[in-house]
Amino acid sequence: MPVNFPSIDPAQLQPVAGVTLGWAEGNIRKPNRKDVLVISLDEGTTVAGVFTKNRFCAAPVIVCREHLAKAPAAGGIRALVVNTGNANAGTGEPGLADARATCAELARLTGFKAEQILPFSTGVILEPLPLDRLKAALPDALAHRDAANWFLAAQSIMTTDTLPKVASKQVTINGHTVTMTGISKGAGMIKPNMATMLGFLALDAKIAQPVLDELVKYVADRSFNCVTVDGDTSTNDSFIVMASGRSSLPEIASTNDPSYAALRDAVTAHAQTLSQLIVRDAEGATKFITIQVEDGRDVEECRKIGYSIAHSPLVKTAFFASDPNLGRILAAVGYAGVDDLDVSRIDLYLDDVHVARNGGRNPDYREEDGQRVMKQAEITVRLRLGRGQAEATIWTCDLSHDYVSINADYRS
């Protein structure tokens, strides 16, 4: 069961002017399910993205990078096409040809250039993309396009997700309303840089391309690159921000613009919501865990320690069992790779419970207090390193029997 997953009312989702979404049932892997999505963008929309750092990246990731680099000369990105059920990864040159053929077919149907289209795939690795089925589904997806289709779009990109992940918000910046809505998918094979996830966030602000390129990296580094489920970095991860320019907010042409910081922080908060939905719906998860590492020398070492805790199977299974075997957390800190870490200065808290002081068990700590926190559905692990002012936050989950079952049966 998802952990405190918010109730989502499709009627409350805000359309983003300049963006329409259409879905289709293409039978890419399984029949009778939405598995193809087309997102159309008005002319003048700026688009930026970040992608997996897995060297074995999927064919659509390679093509997306190529097309984003060509976008200014090609007239900008005008559409995204997404399929689920097949990752088109580990498919070599034929996979690249299929990703390019998908763009070419959508270009033929829309009148755009192939270089103005970004392809995305998610699903099983090392299987050929059923290109004929994907191409056959595109006219239906185009026929379904509507600005209000965000919930249906979220459904159409799910794999092992149990619930569609979508969020919408409006913010006011210098008296101007900015609308942003986004979808994400992912439940397993989740690790920073990035995760087995797709994220698409649209907003109606007008943002110059160099500024958006900077913004998407900033946002990803504080949202989708801060979630982890199992420590496996996927082949297909992509996070895309689309700025349609239809808001009355004047164009943000520089990161020094007075409106930039407010917009950047609003987009970051929205992306954090979308990325946390992935953890709340993680495969087999029963608990949502926030790991806060404070008083570090720099952000990099705080994250390194946070990830070490979050990736430890022993820590994660202890959380699943509600067992306050908290020495496992200290052990994970110790092998995180911060060679000059002075463990005698470390304090560890579970929510309000002070577990370890100056690197050892807090004399006032009681096992029943730790167990009380461990039984909660949401838990905060707070670690103070005592060596600086830097901090970082990581979001993760426990590791249950169901995680093994889901991944053992994934291709069945």
Distances in Å between the alpha carbon of 88 and those of 63, 94, 104, 191? 12, 9, 16, 20
Is 395 within 8 Å of 292 (Cβ atoms)? no
Please, what is the angle between helix 299-311 and helix 313-320, to 10°? 60
Beta strands in 27-143 (DSSP E): 36-41, 46-51, 79-86, 117-124
- Phi then psi for 244, rounded to 5 degrees? -80, -20
Distances in Å between the alpha carbon of 66 and those of 22, 79, 114, 115, 217? 24, 15, 11, 8, 18
Give the residue among 48, 19, 43, 17 at the shortest CA–CA distance from 208. Answer: 48
Residues in the chain: 412
H/E element holding 394?
strand 390-397
Pick the catalytic residue: 102, 179, 181, 196? 196
- From CA 235, how far away is CA 196, in angstroms rounded? 7
Residue linked to tokens 């936050």: 393
Lookup: tokens for 190: 């989740």
Give the residue among 200, 199, 196 at the shortest CA–CA distance from 228. Answer: 196
Is 159 within 8 Å of 84 (Cβ atoms)? yes
Distances in Å between the alpha carbon of 247 and those of 168, 171, 205, 251, 258? 15, 11, 5, 9, 16
Give catalytic status of residue 160 as yes or no: no
Which residues are part of the catalytic machinery? 196
